[in-house]
């Protein structure tokens, strides 16, 4: 049986790993019913993540996305099919991926 993440599980993980100042996770799985990667049981497979974190300061867009993907990799391994990521920096950091 396929189990995927919930909004709450993704929020908890992202808060734990990326210490965001702003976080919104939206389950968009219903928009993909019948498409590749969608699961007929309604398991969450497609999510939008809007996140701002001091860890993103001085990071390229690709590096910000990589930090989000790294934090959620085990969910991807469990059936998470797609993450639409909107990632912004919020405050100074010493370098990409580290906080002051």
Q: Please give the backbone phi and psi of residue 50, each rounded to the nearest 5 degrees, phi first.
A: -110, 120
Check the CA dihedral 70-75-81-87 and report its sign.
negative
pLDDT at site 29: 79
Just give the CATH number of 7-89: 3.30.300.90
Residue 57, class by beta-carbon neighbours within 10 Å (0-12 exposed, 13-18 middle, 19+ buried)?
Answer: buried
Domain spans of the chain? 7-89
The yes-or-no verdict on residue 96 having pLDDT over 70 is: yes
pLDDT for residue 85 is more than 60: yes
Q: How high is the pLDDT of residue 69?
A: 96
Give the mean pLDDT of 69-92: 87
Report the C-alpha gap between 32 and 39 in whole angstroms: 9
Closest listed residue to residue 7, CA positions, set 36, 61, 43: 43
């Amino acid at each position: 049986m396929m189990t995927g993440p919930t909004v709450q599980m993704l929020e908890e993980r992202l808060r734990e790993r990326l210490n965001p100042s702003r976080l919104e996770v939206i389950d968009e799985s219903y928009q993909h019913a019948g498409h590749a990667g969608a699961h007929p049981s309604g398991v969450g497979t497609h999510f939008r993540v809007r996140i701002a974190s001091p860890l993103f300061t001085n990071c390229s867009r690709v590096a910000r996305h990589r930090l989000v993907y790294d934090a959620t990799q085990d969910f991807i391994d469990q059936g998470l099919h797609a993450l639409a990521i909107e990632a912004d920096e919020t405050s100074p950091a010493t370098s990409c991926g580290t906080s002051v």
